[in-house]
Structure 1
Amino acid sequence: MKTRHTLIAASLAAAAPVFAQPPALEELVVTAEFRSTPLLDQSASTSVVTGEDISQRAGQHLEDILNLAPNVNYASGASRARFFQIRGIGERSQFQEPLNPSIGLVIDGIDFSGLGNAGTLFDVDQVEVLRGPQGTLHGANALAGLINIRSAAPADEPSMRVEAMAADYGTWSAGIVGTGPLISDTLLYRLAVNTYQSDGFVENDFLDTDDTNNRDETSIRGKLRWLMSDDNTVDLTAMYIDIDNGYDTFSLDNTRQTLSDEPGRDAQESTALGLDWRSELGFAQLQTLASYATSETEYSYDEDWSFVGIAPGWEYSSFDQYLRDRDSYSLELRLVSDESNRLFNDSSDWVAGVYYLADREDLERNYTYLAGPFSSTYDTDTLAVFGQLDSDLSDALTLIAGLRYEERDTDYSDSNDVASDPGKGLWGGRLTLEYTLGDQQMIYGGVSRGYRTHGVNANILASMDATDDPDELEQLRSLQEYDEEFLLNYELGFKGGFADGTVLVRAALFYMDREDQQVKGSLVLPREDGSTQFIDHIANAAEGNNYGLELETNWQALDSLSLYANIGLLETEFEDYINADGEDLSGREQAHAPGYQFAVGGRFDFGSGFYGRLDVEGKDDFYFSDRHDVQAPSYELLHARLGWANDHWSLALWGRNLTDEDYYVRGFGSFGNDPRKEYVTEPYYQYGEPRMVGVSASYSFQ
């Protein structure tokens, strides 16, 4: 009997780990705020995509991971998804006009807003998506939100990692990362180099080649951390991004087989430097943030999507090229309080600062239908002051009040003798109440105000002689300028951990009220040869509103099993808006605003280093544009990964879009471009990534 009891006890002891409480989930920290803040303590709707998530999805670019974030969408019309929308707000394209982004893009503290090709992900520690206006934090370029990419920091122990990947469509990548001390306890470094190559997912039947929509992307990032003294730390970042991609994606037959005889390019070459110097002054921490970035871009395409001879008597042949050079300089000085210098009887943390940003952008457009190159210069100077006060009203209740005021001056001129130099004072802010319910649980409610600057439709001004029709001329005159847009965001949220931190929940209800909403549109004017001229412009709708829900959950169900579910619900509509065609769109949904989005999945560890991961994501249908009624159908995508890892090696077989679902990342519907059909108006679509299967491997030296 004693032996039997001993065996039973031994068996229960051996089985105990199976039923033991699984470990708590890792605490994530949001670095985009004035202070680095634990995600569960941040009173805003934010998604954090970790470096592990990026690796598990074989992510190379932002477009590979953004579907993990609720109510975040993107538009392509290029080799990559270069334009982003949060809660239904954001740009979808850029041609001749200067761009004032609604979604900020910051990489290691350097502003790349409007330059989405820079969103490569090699050696990135995490991607933070802040939803809602960031009027206090970032200003005019973050009307609807901010995407913050933070690469890995230098380590104090030496290590090196090499990575390689191979996949369908001639796709491969290779990278190397080295980090460690250059001077022990004083100077640390990190260097990451990556190259990515792919033939792309399009075959050009006319040129008999499969690489006109190729991807050729190289990124180099170097970091130094100087531990100058106990009171001073300096971080230096240098990066070089070289994107030399082809652009040949739209087919007259709506397939992955194109007929272009002059394929385009989607290229970006950027060099950037960033400084983050943090100094303890005794009464506060002084943060000095400075950056310089220069970017040369080319966006070009075969406008007719075909070849000479496809339909004699009907065809036209046209090529359009946009060459942009942009230099950006920024300087920000912040004073950030610490525990020793809180205000109002030691109850309030505070931040105060000033910010300056200078953007210098030159454009050259070469277009078949222009007598000569078009050129323009767009200079912007922004000077801002800001502050934030976090006040403890009681042990459980905190009031956050933030305010930002900026003077924004622009100077535009071009080769059509169009000139404009508008200046404006703009302000944004936030007022939020946080209430702590208990350990790791809080609710919050607040209102925030964002803004987007006004501007001039230079393309409209330059096209006044494009028609003699009195009605068309009057329409052109009415669209010469557009006003700034303001956005009020009302938000109620909950964040909390349950079951000893093995379940994390983040939820937010929001209502966004848009005033003088800026809407992208285009006029279509017929040419004598039967083709059409498109004149892009921005106009103001009277009002609009966007409201919905975001829910993100993580569950460490077992020591070997982790699950997640992210859901976004969104309703949008115009109010009192008549578009350029005279169509009343009041009550219609806004473009690129799917009614629902979801991403669910999990990872299971089989033991001995083997694991599997499964992800399913989907979106509701949505309008491609405010100009026409063509929609992207709803879709669901399945991704999977099987891998093995130990302290040094990592090997994996992975697949994205395993069911080979056809889905679209850009679409047009207001014109016809097929001379074989006498240019009848019909929809055209750009396909998203098809089924992609690959293998990845890495080795770490320590």
Structure 2
Amino acid sequence: MPFKYQRLAHPLMLLALSAGATAQTSPQSLPEVTVTADFRETSITELPGSVTVIGEETIADRNALHLEQLLNMAPNVNFSSGASRARFYQIRGIGERSQFIEPVNPSVGVIIDDIDFSGIGTAGTLLDIDQVEILRGPQGTRYGANALAGLIYMKSADPTEELTAKVNGTLANYNTWSASGAVSGPLGDNVSYRIAGQQNRSDGFIENDYLNRDDTNNIDEATLRGKVRWQATDTLTLDFTGLYVDIDNGYDAFSLDNTRHTLSDKPGHDRQETTAAAVKATSTTFDAFRIEVIASGSDSDLEYGYDEDWSYPAICAGLACDGWEYASVDNYLRERQTATLEARLVSTADGAIINGTTGWVVGIYGRGQDEDLLRQYTYAAGDFRSDYETDRISGYAQLETRLSERLVLTTGLRLEEFTADYRDSDGVDFDTDESLWGGRIALEFLLNDQHLLYGLVSRGYKTGGINSNNSLSDELRDYDTEHMVNWEAGVKSSLLDDTLRTQIALFYQQRKDVQVKQSFLVPVSDPYAPGEFIDYFSNAAKGTNYGLEAELQWQPSQQWLFSAALGLLETELKDFVNSAGVDLEGREQAHAPSYQFSLASQYHFDEHWKARVEVEGKDEFYFSDNHDEQSWSYETVGASLTYTESNWNVSLWGRNLTDEDYAVRGFGGFGNDPRKFYAEEPYYQYGEPRTFGISFGYQL
């Protein structure tokens, strides 16, 4: 429970607690939702900020196996593919979309059980995940540089003191299957454990006509997680987490004809093998505060490669274009090690200062990362190698001050020292040292028992960096740090005896030195090949992002449950001319749809049967700030029918039941088809088509 309500009984908290206590007699009451990503575990109705929490029941109802299959439920959250899974995410129109040889500092943080996976979201499998929390807006006090746009926090289930076990299985079209299991229980009087494992397999949604295969864009994902909780003393708890992810997915997604039929002779791959661990120590030795120390480390081997020509050598044999063909493979191998250490003191009610009105948090944080790259490219004279080392040291503090019976002021500040060292085989040698700061001021007002109003201003930052390619001029070699100020106001309500909950947020974000990814085409040794794209980052002078986020949950009876989410977003770039010389003053930012919505209705026929229907939609958006190609607006429909008997269940489900075509990545400004003599045209990677299957579950 947050400090600010430990002495002042918040009516919304009392309502939530009473609802939980009477859940058996009033089943219409919605369960309490707790956000765990902040310094203190906080009820979602009390957290001043726009946040979405997706729980394990919803994950199961959607038969979601990866984070990308949940994100459309959250307002103003988008993702970019260009690989087998979504690796990069955008919140309120801000976030990266790809990575090749250039080093990347992420805008959206991804944390899984206190382990930092920012920038490698392919690891976001949903094995035994308890809930996914999406915090929108800069998290300048809590997370610093990697959370300019927001944070995605994935929390898995904790060990239990009693023996429990569950198994789940799925069979679906496209030769898809998944099997998972978890077991949890005591190891002794003071030790409990949890072990979970999962294997996901699918042929994917692409048919390679040249190779006569339907599995060149396949899914092959294995995840293993272990957790141990040790109550070492009456005042010391140790939580250990170990995680192993082995992903060996194919990548053959782009077609010269913009269909799901490809012609690649050397299909690509998207692989990741990660071993990671974390330990958290929590001490309540002192009455005035608790001590939390969190250490984590991960070691990841990543390999991403593709058939650059998307075809086979003899595609023009016997045609007018004979001799125009080229053949090229591009492959990127990365070794990435990340280590973090954080220590903080979190006050209790007894430790409140300023006459007992103010709770506090102080902490220090350190993060080191080393990323080695090997690029193997057909048209390069030799392999390209680079090494990118970054270190972050920061200190932070936060105060929560009760100004009156209804008014709470939260102030937070984070100071960070960032250093980076980059070197590569082209002779580029770059280092930087920056002092950065971020923070937040939030004011909460309890209007009455049903409504909490808040307003906040927060400041976030994203460090600058180096552009690695030696084809760039000196003035394009590096780019500046981006800063953003976020203004936000919202209301969170609990109505109709806590059967209806709503949250609405309005935001306005001012971006300075906006980091914008650009590219240009340079010739290669083959005169008939379209050339090599050189990617780099530059800065627009300014940008603005503003809009609305609204979410609703309503349970009007024991049978019905409704939920809805809406995101409205307006974005623009200011004082920016792209690499093609086009003035983009006032144009929308990339991957920033102007609207996004989701609707879901769930009905319990009786104690055994339930049905769920959901609709999601998204407006068109630009794929890049470097060309004019856009996605198209779309809506998809999903449904499930579940039967539960005692400790087992079976579910029939389907996603995108209308088989809507929509794009998750797109390119323009070049041609890749020799049959058309490399005439410029757009190319699209399609999202998931109609999928359907049956799932089984059993739990002790």
TM-score if structure 1 supplies the norm length? 0.94
1:323 corresponds, among 324, 333, 340, to 333
1:438 Cα deviation (Å)?
A: 2.2
Say how many residue pairs are matched: 668
1:406 corresponds, among 407, 416, 436, to 416
CA distance in 2 between counterparts of 1:225 and 1:448 reads 35
1:191 corresponds, among 179, 185, 195, to 195
What pairs up with 1:462-501 in 2 under 5 angstroms? Answer: 462-463=470-471, 476-501=473-498
Alignment match, 2:77? 72
Cα deviation digits, residues 110-134 of structure 1 (max 9, x gap): 1000011110002100000000001
What pairs up with 1:376-391 in 2 under 5 angstroms? Answer: 376-391=386-401
Q: Would the aligned equivalents of 1:22 and 1:502 in 2 still touch at CA under 8 Å?
A: no
SS in 2 for 1:340: helix
Alignment match, 1:211? 215
Cα deviation digits, residues 329-377 of structure 1 (max 9, x gap): 1100000000111010000010000000000110000000111111100
Structure 2 letter corresponding to 1:131: R
Alignment match, 1:17? none
SS in 1 for 2:447: strand
Structure 1 letter corresponding to 2:345: L
1:478 Cα deviation (Å)?
A: 2.6
SS in 2 for 1:573: strand
SS in 2 for 1:407: strand
Structure 2 letter corresponding to 1:620: D
Alignment match, 2:56? 51
What pairs up with 1:267-666 in 2 under 5 angstroms? Answer: 267-282=271-286, 283-311=288-316, 312-459=322-469, 462-463=470-471, 476-527=473-524, 528-666=527-665
Alignment match, 1:9? none
Alignment match, 2:134? 129
2:100 corresponds, among 79, 92, 95, to 95
Alignment match, 2:122? 117
Q: Percent identity?
A: 53
Alignment match, 1:470? none
Q: Would the aligned equivalents of 1:671 and 1:682 in 2 still touch at CA under 8 Å?
A: yes
Call closer, same or farther: CA 1:360–1:530 in 2, change over 3 Å: closer
CA distance in 2 between counterparts of 1:670 and 1:404 reads 42
CA distance in 1 between counterparts of 2:446 and 2:247 reads 46
CA distance in 2 between counterparts of 1:270 and 1:607 reads 44
Structure 1 runs, 4 residues or longer, greater than 6 Å off: none
Cα deviation digits, residues 17-36 of structure 1 (max 9, x gap): xxx97521011000000001
2:231 corresponds, among 207, 227, 231, to 227
Structure 1 letter corresponding to 2:225: R
CA distance in 1 between counterparts of 2:275 and 2:662 reads 34
Alignment match, 1:264? 268
CA distance in 1 between counterparts of 2:478 and 2:165 reads 54
CA distance in 2 between counterparts of 1:536 and 1:632 reads 21
CA distance in 2 between counterparts of 1:574 and 1:63 reads 27
CA distance in 2 between counterparts of 1:168 and 1:383 reads 48
SS in 1 for 2:60: helix
Q: Would the aligned equivalents of 1:140 and 1:450 in 2 still touch at CA under 8 Å?
A: yes
Call closer, same or farther: CA 1:666–1:105 in 2, change over 3 Å: same
SS in 1 for 2:58: helix
SS in 1 for 2:555: strand
Structure 1 letter corresponding to 2:66: H
1:647 Cα deviation (Å)?
A: 2.8
SS in 2 for 1:632: coil
SS in 2 for 1:229: coil
1:229 Cα deviation (Å)?
A: 2.1
Q: Would the aligned equivalents of 2:159 and 2:184 in 1 still touch at CA under 8 Å?
A: yes
CA distance in 2 between counterparts of 1:370 and 1:581 reads 24
CA distance in 2 between counterparts of 1:647 and 1:143 reads 46
1:486 Cα deviation (Å)?
A: 0.2
SS in 1 for 2:354: helix
1:439 Cα deviation (Å)?
A: 2.5
Alignment match, 1:27? 32
Cα deviation digits, residues 218-241 of structure 1 (max 9, x gap): 000000011122211111000000
CA distance in 2 between counterparts of 1:524 and 1:583 reads 15
Tell me, yes or no, if structure 1 residue 182 matches structure 2 residue 149. no
Q: Would the aligned equivalents of 1:204 and 1:260 in 2 still touch at CA under 8 Å?
A: yes
CA distance in 2 between counterparts of 1:256 and 1:80 reads 16
1:440 Cα deviation (Å)?
A: 4.6
Alignment match, 2:8? none
SS in 2 for 1:346: coil
Alignment match, 1:156? 161
CA distance in 1 between counterparts of 2:448 and 2:222 reads 47
CA distance in 2 between counterparts of 1:565 and 1:416 reads 52
SS in 2 for 1:421: strand
CA distance in 2 between counterparts of 1:608 and 1:571 reads 44
Q: Would the aligned equivalents of 2:226 and 2:241 in 1 still touch at CA under 8 Å?
A: yes
TM-score if structure 2 supplies the norm length? 0.95
RMSD: 1.0
Cα deviation digits, residues 77-113 of structure 1 (max 9, x gap): 0000111000000000000011100000000001000
Alignment match, 1:165? 170
Q: Would the aligned equivalents of 2:530 and 2:670 in 1 still touch at CA under 8 Å?
A: no
Structure 1 letter corresponding to 2:30: L
SS in 2 for 1:42: coil
CA distance in 1 between counterparts of 2:490 and 2:338 reads 36
Cα deviation digits, residues 539-580 of structure 1 (max 9, x gap): 000000000000000000111100011000000001111111
Alignment match, 2:4? none
CA distance in 2 between counterparts of 1:619 and 1:557 reads 28
Structure 2 letter corresponding to 1:480: R
1:608 Cα deviation (Å)?
A: 3.6
Q: Would the aligned equivalents of 1:225 and 1:236 in 2 still touch at CA under 8 Å?
A: yes
Q: Could you list the runs of 5+ residues in structure 2 that have no partner in the other structure?
A: 1-24, 317-321
CA distance in 1 between counterparts of 2:307 and 2:245 reads 25
